[in-house]
Chain A
Amino acid sequence: MKSTESIKRSARVRRTWRIILALFICLLQLVPVYITFTVSVKPQTDMSSKWLIPAKPFWQNYMTALEAGNLLRAFLNTLIITVISTGLVVVLGAASAYPLARNPSRLNKGVKTFILSIMMVPALSLLVPLYVMLVHFHAISTYWGIIPVHVVFNLPLAIFMYANFIETIPQELDEAALIDGCSVYSIFGRIILPLMTPVTVSVMILTSVNAWNDYQYSLYFLQKPAMKVLTLSIASFFGQSGADPHVAAAAALLAILPIMIIYLCLQKYFVKGMVEGAIK
């Protein structure tokens, strides 16, 4: 029989190992960001190892990146596209889910299956015809060309998450409001919608992260320099031959900074939103 003393000691040893291992994994995960940082604070003449931070950081790269890449404009474009797309996904998602969850008629079951099957269509396989269609409508390099694309490919999951949640809200609530003389639309707007705030937060996080980080659609549908979003700006920093890699590193860090800050402040909601989106 082991003594309580030795059991305690082995538990402590295990815990120490856990901490060391977790620390190692965290450092590993931060390596790309760290290396990009050391590169970003060195002048082009500095040939030292990328693992070393210079004694005197060269912050000028950040100023150059902001000016050369028109990063502020790209930031603004990304923000506008992300905010409007997310708003539309929330409004359309919640509205569509309400009748689908409350009225499971044969027609509505069909509609739900149709929306679910859209989730399986990889957007990539539709890039060619979508591009052709947007060219036809003169919607390339416009906000109103890219926004519907983001909305459409984020909407099915949002509808699904909202519908699942509405099914957990007791229908007696609707009926009570009906007796009080509410119309179906005001039941939805005044009773159901406020109750769905937790799902709305998750939908907003999932959609805005997707829209903010998007590269594929933007690469096709936003081609004018003035319409570039952050991912496209960063890609052109790295894509140009002869461009200063140190300025590119600074630009990359500036581009990921906003979402990093928001994530670190609201990480509880981000993780919850992710799990809900995954498990559906």
Chain B
Amino acid sequence: MQTHSLYRKANILYIPALILFLIFVVYPFFSDIRIAFTNWNGFSKHFKYVGLLNFKRLFTDANIGIALVNTLFYGFGSTFFQQVLGLAFALLLNEPFPGRTAARTIIYLPVMISAVIMGYMWTYLVEFDGALNDIVALFGGKPVLWLSNATLAVVVLITINTLQFVGISMIIYLAGLQGIPNMYYEAASIEGAGRRQQFWKITVPLLYPSFVTSVTINLIGGLKLFDVIQALTAGGPGYTTHSLATLIHSTYFGSQNAGFAAAIGALLFVIILIFTILLELVFKGKEVQYT
């Protein structure tokens, strides 16, 4: 067809985007690996190539271990709670009642707030004389140091991240629920299936695509968690709440070890890549089709 050669001429339209990707993604990608082989401090003109030293340190440095475990907790913890709450909220809002639209708007609202500002707003809740401890006192408890204990701090950070972004999962599940034809439920009713049976036999399997989408977004987002940690603990106390993302920041600007920071960057890349591939493998071809 004549149009074919015509479209070939149109290829020029993606050249500017490709150039941007080469400069800002491909070149930095290789540059990152090169920096990871040096002992560069981030600003000096002098540095040495140190071979695999930084990569070896990834396996021996205790802080990397902590940050890696935390990163997995942030990722999987947030993902788990976002699925449970997101689906529950979606089921609640799927049936009509007065104020339903307003409720959807409000539950989704925190998604619009910058995560770092949300983190800072939470300081008023979790500080020693903060709003949460007022509630604890109301029930006769002693004030809790929400961010001084590593385990509790990680739980608090996961909770904040979950509550802020649960609206995304809710919207995805709502879209999924609205895509299930009503006739399936009608047919099941006629066959005598109860509400619970309808939920497990119709709703759950047909929500599978929504589940895949939501889990993928939440997990990849959670593994990259940075803003809220930076706002509330900056990785502390000590190194106990760092994620890999915040550790890159503190290694580069705090410890001025650009070489090692670049190596952690490469590690984060590999982790995200592994989980992207795993998600693809786990979820592939498991969709059900009711016809």
> Which residues in A have some Cβ–Cβ distance to B below 8 Å?
15, 18-19, 21-23, 25-26, 28-33, 35-36, 39, 49-51, 92-93, 95-96, 98-100, 102-103, 105, 107-108, 111, 114-115, 118, 120-122, 124-133, 148-149, 151-152, 155, 159, 171, 174-175, 178, 184-185, 188, 209, 212-216, 219, 230-231, 234-235, 237-238, 245, 248-249, 252, 255-256, 259-260, 263-264, 267, 270-271, 274-275, 278-279
Number of A-B contacts (CB under 8 A): 264
CB-defined contacts of A98 to chain B, threshold 8 Å: 10, 13
Q: Give me 15 other A-B pairs in contact (C-beta within 8 A), A26-B103, A111-B14, A188-B13 excluded.
A: A31-B125, A32-B124, A35-B125, A95-B16, A102-B3, A103-B11, A155-B21, A214-B114, A216-B245, A234-B114, A252-B117, A255-B114, A255-B117, A260-B112, A279-B172
When A103-B7, A152-B21 are in contact, do A36 and B109 touch as well, CB less than 8 Å? no
Q: In angstroms, how far is the closest chain A Cβ from the Cβ of B209?
A: 8
CB-defined contacts of A22 to chain B, threshold 8 Å: 92-93, 97, 99-100, 103
Q: In angstroms, how far is the closest chain B Cβ from the Cβ of A179?
A: 9
Contact of B120 among A127, A234, A263, A275 (CB under 8 A): A234
Tally of chain B residues near chain A (CB < 8 A): 91
A84 to B112, CA, bound (A): 20
> Which residues in B have some Cβ–Cβ distance to A below 8 Å?
1-4, 6-14, 16-18, 20-21, 23-25, 27-29, 31-32, 35, 42, 89, 92-93, 95, 97-100, 102-118, 120-125, 129-131, 134, 163, 168, 171-172, 175, 213-214, 217, 220, 224, 226-227, 230-231, 245, 248-249, 252, 258, 261-262, 265-266, 268-269, 272-273, 276
The 7 closest A-B pairs by CB, nearest first: A103-B7, A213-B114, A96-B14, A129-B28, A129-B31, A125-B265, A215-B116
Q: In angstroms, how far is the closest chain A Cβ from the Cβ of B159?
A: 11
Contact of A99 among B13, B97, B116, B125 (CB under 8 A): B13
CB-defined contacts of B7 to chain A, threshold 8 Å: 99, 102-103, 184
A125 to B130, CA, bound (A): 35
- The answer to whether A155 and B17 touch across the interface, beta carbons within 8 angstroms, is yes
CB-defined contacts of A120 to chain B, threshold 8 Å: 272-273, 276
CB-defined contacts of B13 to chain A, threshold 8 Å: 95-96, 98-99, 188
- The answer to whether A124 and B10 touch across the interface, beta carbons within 8 angstroms, is no
CB-defined contacts of B125 to chain A, threshold 8 Å: 31-32, 35, 50
- The answer to whether A152 and B20 touch across the interface, beta carbons within 8 angstroms, is yes
CB-defined contacts of A28 to chain B, threshold 8 Å: 163
A243 to B10, CA, bound (A): 56
CB-defined contacts of A125 to chain B, threshold 8 Å: 32, 248, 265-266, 268-269, 272
A98 to B110, CA, bound (A): 35
- The answer to whether B98 and A19 touch across the interface, beta carbons within 8 angstroms, is yes
- The answer to whether B99 and A259 touch across the interface, beta carbons within 8 angstroms, is no
When A26-B107, A259-B112, A263-B109 are in contact, do A159 and B97 touch as well, CB less than 8 Å? no
* Interchain Cβ contacts under 8 Å between A and B, 28 examples: A18-B92, A22-B92, A22-B93, A26-B103, A29-B163, A32-B121, A35-B125, A95-B17, A99-B12, A115-B21, A118-B25, A121-B29, A125-B32, A126-B28, A129-B32, A132-B258, A152-B24, A155-B17, A178-B6, A215-B116, A231-B117, A252-B117, A256-B112, A259-B113, A263-B109, A270-B112, A278-B171, A279-B175
